[in-house]
Amino acid sequence: MSLTVLYWVLLLVMLVGVVGAILPAVPGPSLILIAAVVWWIATGFSGFGIPTVVVIVLLVLSLGVELLAAYLGAKRFGASRWGVIGAIVGLVLGIVGLLPALPFGGPIVGLFFGPVAGAFIGEFLFRRTLELSERIWQSLRACVGIVVGTVIGKLMEFFLAIAAFVIFIIDTWPQVAP
């Protein structure tokens, strides 16, 4: 396979990665990083420099930004440690499909609802000294914080993925341009 064909295939993989930065259950930044590493190996690390390091840093940052944003969103909306831990447990259970989901969707549905259900249950258990209505209200606030934080985190991850993709193209284009 020629280097030019490989380059275009890897750019397509990276585009899937950019879209995956927004969509759950698609490994966005990981796909971009894997494609970039394949390119660097295929070219014998020619052109490996500061732009390459910037791409790697952006992709590593994007891996943690969603989790950090969800955590900060939950804390901003008043979630306790129990709510945050519940969201994490819900995420894990949702991904492996242990949450009862709709008859379709499996882990993808669990990925959406797992953290929200986990945050609600964790917060509800923690706030047992409150009246029922206040307890439910505080648990719902924690859920909103998780959702808002996750959406903001996904957007940040998306923009970091776009930045890494664009920097990669700018850095590597001279190697394949006619």
CA 116 to mean position of chain CA atoms: 16
Tokens standing for residue 135: 């307890």
pLDDT of residue 48: 73
- d(C-alpha 55, C-alpha 165), whole Å: 8
Say which residue the tokens 């879209």 belong to.
Answer: 19
Task: Record the pTM.
Answer: 0.75
* Residue type, position 69, single letter: A
Sorting pLDDT into bands at 50, 70 and 90, what band is 62? confident
Average confidence score pLDDT of the chain: 81
pLDDT tens per residue across span 78-99: 788 888 888 888 877 776 766 5
CA distance 50 to 66: 25
The domain containing residue 136 runs over which residues? 3-176
Q: What percentage of the chain exceeds 90 in pLDDT?
A: 6
Q: What is the maximum span of the chain, computed from C-alpha positions, in angstroms?
A: 71
pLDDT at 75 over 60: yes
Q: How many domains does the chain have?
A: 1
